[in-house]
Chains A and B, each alone.
Chain A
Amino acid sequence: RKEVEQDPGPFNVPEGATVAFNCTYSNSASQSFFWYRQDCRKEPKLLMSVYSSGNEDGRFTAQLNRASQYISLLIRDSKLSDSATYLCVVTPHTGGFKTIFGAGTRLFVKA
């Protein structure tokens, strides 16, 4: 089993749709959780940190379920500009700054 697994995608959605991505992690002692966005041929950019209480930033909501060891990202009212690859990232309890990237989920938002 991979340490971090994401929905394989790609997701093809129309503008205005709501889309949800899930990510599971295998190490129950994992400490920190993030969603990154990566545009084609660009660097990954931090989208959101993910907390147990859940957090929201505009159209984006991230949730963490420690009991089930999964993280989710919800995008409401999708825009064309949301088209990108979304990477789930987990930091284990041990490992001194080592983080583990999921394989990424590609999102295409179409007019």
Chain B
Amino acid sequence: DTEVTQTPKHLVMGMTNKKSLKCEQHMGHRAMYWYKQKAKKPPELMFVYSYEKLSINESVPSRFSPECPNSSLLNLHLHALQPEDSALYLCASSQDQAAGYTFGSGTRLTVV
């Protein structure tokens, strides 16, 4: 299995809603990532988990809350988002820094 699977593919949520994005990989990769991508921009790093521990938080607002239940799963909990948070949210995994990433197909989030 050489894939990163993200669910849901599309999500529309209100500013008062709570929702979660899910990501799963079975490649034995030890690092997992959340990226946010706006149209015509490169992906922006949000969080990095290494060996299930949060190692990088790129000053992301607390309305985004990551969770790594085990080495294969990564969640992103969303609460009280703003319309400007609408974007493509990408999960990725890698074995190490030299290996490059495998990205999931992303969740396209719209906040209304």
Contacts and interface: CB of A to CB of B under 8 A. Distances in A.
Given A34-B100, A49-B100, A99-B45, A42 B55 contact: no
Contacts of A98: 45, 48, 56
Contacts, number: 56
Contacts of B88: 41
Contacts of A104: 42
A46 B102 contact: yes
Contacts of B103: 43-45
Interface of B: 31, 33, 41-43, 45, 48, 50, 55-56, 88, 90, 94, 96-106
A102 B44 CA distance: 10
14 contacts: A31-B97, A32-B100, A36-B100, A44-B43, A45-B103, A46-B100, A49-B100, A91-B98, A95-B56, A96-B48, A96-B50, A97-B94, A101-B43, A103-B41
A71 interface: no
A32 B81 CA distance: 35
Most-contacted residue by chain A among B98, B104, B105 (CB, 10 A): B98
Contacts of B31: 97
